[in-house]
Structure 1
Amino acid sequence: MRLMLLTAGSRGDVEPFAALARCAAAQRHEVRLAAPENPGADLAGLDAVSLEVDFQRLVGTQGASPWTAVRRYRTEVGPGMRRMLSAAVRETLAFRPDVVVHHPKVLTAPAVADALGVPHVVVETVPVLTPTREFPAPGVVTRDLGPFNRWTYAATRSAARMFRRDIEEACAQLPGSTPAAAPSAPTASLVPISPQLLPRPADWPASTHLTGAWHDDAGAPELDPAVLRFLRGGAYLVATFGSMAAGDPSSRGRAVVESARAHGLRTLLLTGWGGLALPDELRGDDVHVARSVSLDAVLPGAALAVHHGGAGTVHAVARAGVPHVVVPFLADQPFWGRQMHRLGLAATPVPRKHLTTARLTAAVVEALSCASTAEWVGREIREEHGLHEALSVLASC
């Protein structure tokens, strides 16, 4: 089977696809992965091509605010999306796969699959495409609307209309140059989420598959010796806000370090794309600052993790059996913060704009009380085989 994998976004959007590519290649499938530039994920050993957009640069330019993204659409966001949509068509045509597997942001994937006469399968790294009555579309509304929850999923289908001209321009490369007015529906939807963190809704159709998380079992990479020495020095927490960079990173760093010290914990502060910074006056032997490390390598020994609530980070923390303090910024992060709290794995979420030392110190107390539940859930998640389940679905397409 020849698989074309197309993904877009930050590290949390790329790592599951990279894990699927490695697992598929190990089973002797021919796999090509098209991903953004500078993704922050390890693509070594993969047949990988560029989608000609750097999401880290876009975030650095526009910040996390969607309103800023709208203002910068003509100069940054629009051109980046056009390059990505066009590259996705070009690379897929060149590979001529048997199946196209794509992130929802890659809006040209259905059309190019139709042009090649092959099925396409969408990957819901966040469950925003398949309507359900059980919860509203993550990132659309922040409260349960009961029987009206299904209506909220209409908003997630508007992206194709917003980028209609860009899609048409990219699809001019297709044989015949005129794509169908409406591409075919996906053959299946893969949801790489653990059922321990999101039980399957009863009203999802059979074509939507909750596979379990896609995790590369090759093992965590070797850590820098300085990080290893720090981890061996006593109890610690891990703080990361990934690709989130809005607001005051020094203020957030202060809240994290001071709340950790209040509980006798040391801090591994991961600055990511600029969301955390350590004020000079708080430097000490009990704080280690790094831009990025493998979460799989540092989380298993942590007392807890303070993070933004991205789906990838949520799964990494839960898989390690570690309790959470979620500080959501935007999109699906409030959903995951509420869900982890509801499951007894996390403290009550602390919104980014309300993060203070006092609130975070209290949240750490609440999170530490979740340790036994987090440990049990972590064991269950580590027994899942999400990648094999996904490949089984793809083989039947």
Structure 2
Amino acid sequence: MAKQMGLEDQDGAHGEDDAPPAYEEVVEEVLDATQVIDNGRIDVKLNSRLARTLSKLMVKSEEVSHAPPTYLPQPTKASVSLNIVIQVVGSRGDVQPFVALGNELQRSGHRVRLATHDTFKSFVTEADLEFFPIGGDPAALMAYMVRNPGLLPSMDALRSGEIQKKRAMMEEMMEGCWKACIEPDQDSGNPFVADAIIANPPSFAHVHCAEALGIPVHIMFTMPWTATEAFTHPLANIKTTNYDEKLTNRLSYAIVDCMMWQGLGDIVNSWRYRHHLTPVPFSEGPFLSDLLKIPTTYCWSPALVPKPLDWPDHIDVCGFFFRDAPKYSPPSDIDEFLHAGPAPVYIGFGSIVIDDPEAFTNLILEAVEAAGVRAIISKGWSKLGDTVTRVPKDVLFIGDCPHEWLFQHVAAVIHHGGAGTTACGLANACPTMIVPFFGDQPFWGAMVATAGVGPDPIPHKLLTAGNLGQGIKFCLSKDAVHAAKEVSARMYNESGVRTAVESFHRHLPTEALSCDLLPQYAAVWQTKLANKSLKLSKIAAEMLIAEHLILAKDLKVYQSKPIHIVTRRWDPITAGSSSTIGVYTGMVSGATGIFSKPFDEYKRSRKDGSSSSGAKVAGNMALASAKSVGRVNSSLFKGTMIDVPLAITEGLRATPKLYGESVPDHEPITGWKSGAKVAGKEFVEGVGGGLSGFFVKPYEAAKKDGTKGFFVGLGKGTLALHTKLGSSALGLFAYPSQGIYKSIYASTHGGTSKNIAIARREEGSYLLPRHEIDLRRLLEAWERCGGKYAGT
């Protein structure tokens, strides 16, 4: 892989034969090469060893030789009506674009639930979208991010216990995202089970919820989160590197991904354990979206930031999301101020929570006076201006006011750089100055400056009355005004929301999603009819049960888009050692729990104020300790009998990758049948391929490079013979063992699957009387598929 990416050591030797190190070494390398600086970005020292490690773990970039397509969105009616849950973590500015998306999805024929923080309930429901609370306090999140804008916390945050609170909040939100997929509406009680998920990356639960349900997931975001050669990750600041700019840019994404997983991976895996999913290893966790090729749509204007040429077809750049302009009549103070003089400058920082709002307000007022302009200042969550005793006559402090309306009446906008606010300002041809605090805000500040529609961004910690005043003057210059008009004109013909819905539809597995009897509905069950598998929607299944054509026990949960997370291997040595370390870690964790879990149980009973007797609490403590003993034994047995043999098998099988050969993936092992099938197929192909390669490779290499090629080919053929024969033989035990384990695990850890089945039945029963009109079509389709119906 290193060679394919053009990665070389300083001395010119390729690092392609180096397998990635074990988990602990990867973490140590990444953390040793990074440092969070005062403005929240991450300083990165990209040396040869770290680059080799990351190049092995990253997904190879696709060769894209053509420019991205021109998206011409058309109003589309969905071929399959879906229950879509949109999971969003963030501020109001993060939620607002997805409100617009939700309304467009409704117009396409879908049922849409927007799952986000409780405080945004009225904002969502007023747009006629269903709402589900996921918990979490966005104000607390914003305040935390202002103080710790990078990925690692400050020492003050560690001392104050903020990290523990934030991690607890992440756990709460992940569980809230899951409940949003399968629980009824909390107000109406109407059942809801998701058929597809749309999410922004900070919600973190998206892929894992989709895996549990076996449904499509689509990522939509305002900030680059996919590796590209075009620009570095917005949070990465490369201090030193041994490589060219393109490769350095790509590797910056791997560093940020690894740091995020290091901080949140244990929370994700704890959630997966509770919902009966196997843990995701460090080597795969940071790169899941790329490994699984999750469709991703970026919500910014290609007129401002074109789609990078190295992004593959499952990634789109669609345009900003604008909601329908709300009906708004300005209060008298705003209306009178706008008519009292020249167009003012807008200054506002939305949901940013500023530590010292009084000092920040005074700074703004001083800059406005120095620039000689009129200004409308939004109070925002920091309540700017609340302590001002005498407001200058050329300044107006306001509360909530729709940007879509207000930005039509101002000369320029100064704000924190949220994607939505940036988009609205540019759409209205407003020159823009960005004062970034965290997240994607520095990225948008840089893009605005590159387009010439505003000055270079000034981080809030470096903001003074002087440089803010100069920035305001820059925005009012002829060049900035002209550039803003040009960008606005190019954005005029974009329809970001409609293009995003088209992108969502284009990436759906429509054939797999459709019910075989009522194709306009999503399939969630499967059953047998005339020895054929039949996909059924919730409505179709309940109709067939009501007509006594099938029994409820005949229904099996159907997954329209199964997700299989596979641990990649490079060679038998690192594969075996990594797996052994995993076994050891599992045993140590279980052994620790023998003593810690009873204490946790005792604390839980005290916290809950349980009225249980002392004997019952003691019994629960003993049970918790016994379960930990069981985990030690199960870790040892599973590790020695399944994990290590499987890892060595896969390592042997993958060895040809080390000298540049491709090794196709085998089909996923989901149970004992697929395990046996893979074992048989791999044995036949491994033995045949090994023997064939032993004789063919020297001949082919000799034809190309003569005697030298013969011996190189002989070496490769000999190595391939031993590794393929070894993996084939060991696979006869390892693959069926893995399949048997998965079958047993599924039968003994089926709580989540049972909950999904119950929720789907409940929604089907709820929908049944509302879809009686579909009964005739269903029965006709049933008979066409070979079913019998007494009524005919």
Both structures adopt the same fold (TM-score exceeding 0.5): yes
The residue aligned with 1:192 is: 299
The residue aligned with 2:684 is: none
Residue pair 2:94, 2:420 contacting (<8 A) in 1 also = yes
Residue pair 2:273, 2:279 contacting (<8 A) in 1 also = no
Residue pair 1:243, 1:275 contacting (<8 A) in 2 also = no
The residue aligned with 1:28 is: 109
Q: Does 1:85 align with 2:174?
A: yes
Residue pair 1:237, 1:303 contacting (<8 A) in 2 also = yes
Letter in 2 for 1:134: A
Residue 186 (structure 1) shift: 4.8
Q: Does 1:228 align with 2:335?
A: yes
Letter in 2 for 1:153: Y
Letter in 1 for 2:309: A
Cα 1:222/1:170, change in 2 over 3 Å: farther
Cα 1:278/1:264, change in 2 over 3 Å: farther
CA distance in 2, matches of 1:150, 1:60: 30
Task: Give me the identity figure in percent.
Answer: 25
Residue 230 (structure 1) shift: 2.1
Letter in 2 for 1:116: L
The residue aligned with 1:111 is: 208
Residue pair 2:146, 2:437 contacting (<8 A) in 1 also = no
Corresponding residue SS for 1:391: helix
Residue 138 (structure 1) shift: 0.9
Residue 11 (structure 1) shift: 1.5
Residues 11-68 of structure 1: per-residue CA shift (max 9 Å, x gap)? 1211111111111112221111101122498211210111111111333467532435
The residue aligned with 1:390 is: 500
1:149 to 249, 253, 261: 249
Residue 386 (structure 1) shift: 1.0
Cα 1:274/1:85, change in 2 over 3 Å: same
CA distance in 2, matches of 1:13, 1:292: 16
CA distance in 2, matches of 1:340, 1:193: 12
Residue 393 (structure 1) shift: 1.6
Cα 1:264/1:14, change in 2 over 3 Å: same
Residue pair 2:121, 2:133 contacting (<8 A) in 1 also = no
Residues 102-156 of structure 1: per-residue CA shift (max 9 Å, x gap)? 11012221111122111111112211x2111111111222789822011111134
After TM superposition, the structure 1 = structure 2 runs for residues 264-283 of structure 1, keeping only pairs within 5 Å, are 264-274=372-382, 276-277=384-385, 280=388, 283=391
Corresponding residue SS for 1:85: helix
Residue 164 (structure 1) shift: 2.6
The residue aligned with 1:178 is: 277
The residue aligned with 1:295 is: 403
Q: Does 1:375 align with 2:485?
A: yes
CA distance in 2, matches of 1:61, 1:325: 24
When structure 1 is superposed on structure 2, of 84-93 and 223-232 the one drifting more is 223-232
The residue aligned with 1:169 is: 270
CA distance in 2, matches of 1:6, 1:349: 30
The residue aligned with 1:330 is: 438
Residue 275 (structure 1) shift: 7.2
CA distance in 1, matches of 2:433, 2:239: 20
Cα 1:41/1:231, change in 2 over 3 Å: farther
Q: Which has the higher contact order (CA 8 A, sep 6+)?
A: 1
Cα 1:341/1:40, change in 2 over 3 Å: farther
Q: Does 1:3 align with 2:84?
A: yes
2:140 to 33, 45, 57: 57
Residues 276-304 of structure 1: per-residue CA shift (max 9 Å, x gap)? 44663651332211233211111111111
When structure 1 is superposed on structure 2, of 92-101 and 204-213 the one drifting more is 92-101
The residue aligned with 1:96 is: 193
Letter in 2 for 1:204: W
The residue aligned with 2:418 is: 310
CA distance in 2, matches of 1:381, 1:314: 12
Residue 97 (structure 1) shift: 2.2
What TM-score comes out, normalization by structure 1 length?
0.91
CA distance in 2, matches of 1:79, 1:334: 28
Residue pair 2:235, 2:256 contacting (<8 A) in 1 also = no
When structure 1 is superposed on structure 2, of 379-388 and 223-232 the one drifting more is 223-232
CA distance in 1, matches of 2:438, 2:144: 17
Residue 214 (structure 1) shift: 1.0
Letter in 1 for 2:113: R
CA distance in 2, matches of 1:280, 1:11: 26
When structure 1 is superposed on structure 2, of 290-299 and 153-162 the one drifting more is 153-162
The residue aligned with 2:447 is: 339
Q: Does 1:48 align with 2:149?
A: no
Cα 1:40/1:240, change in 2 over 3 Å: farther
2:463 to 352, 355, 364: 355
Corresponding residue SS for 1:34: strand
Corresponding residue SS for 2:176: helix
CA distance in 2, matches of 1:256, 1:340: 21
CA distance in 1, matches of 2:238, 2:406: 31
Q: Does 1:138 align with 2:234?
A: yes
CA distance in 2, matches of 1:155, 1:22: 36
1:259 to 367, 378, 384: 367
CA distance in 2, matches of 1:207, 1:260: 46
Residue pair 2:325, 2:404 contacting (<8 A) in 1 also = no
CA distance in 1, matches of 2:421, 2:476: 18
Cα 1:218/1:298, change in 2 over 3 Å: closer
Corresponding residue SS for 2:352: coil
Cα 1:220/1:206, change in 2 over 3 Å: farther
2:320 to 206, 213, 216: 213
When structure 1 is superposed on structure 2, of 207-216 and 236-245 the one drifting more is 236-245
Residue pair 1:11, 1:41 contacting (<8 A) in 2 also = no
Residues 293-318 of structure 1: per-residue CA shift (max 9 Å, x gap)? 21111111111111111222211211
Corresponding residue SS for 1:328: coil
Letter in 2 for 1:32: R
Residues 305-359 of structure 1: per-residue CA shift (max 9 Å, x gap)? 1111122221121111100121122232222212111111001222322222222
Letter in 2 for 1:154: A
Cα 1:380/1:151, change in 2 over 3 Å: same
Letter in 2 for 1:253: T
Residue pair 1:12, 1:310 contacting (<8 A) in 2 also = yes
Cα 1:186/1:102, change in 2 over 3 Å: farther
Letter in 2 for 1:205: P
Corresponding residue SS for 1:141: strand
**Unpaired runs of at least 5, structure 1:** none
When structure 1 is superposed on structure 2, of 382-391 and 240-249 the one drifting more is 240-249
Residue pair 2:143, 2:352 contacting (<8 A) in 1 also = no
Corresponding residue SS for 1:331: coil
Residue pair 2:346, 2:410 contacting (<8 A) in 1 also = yes
Query: What is the root-mean-square deviation in Å for CA atoms of aligned residues?
Result: 2.5
CA distance in 2, matches of 1:394, 1:293: 31
Corresponding residue SS for 1:105: helix
Corresponding residue SS for 1:215: coil
Q: Does 1:19 align with 2:108?
A: no
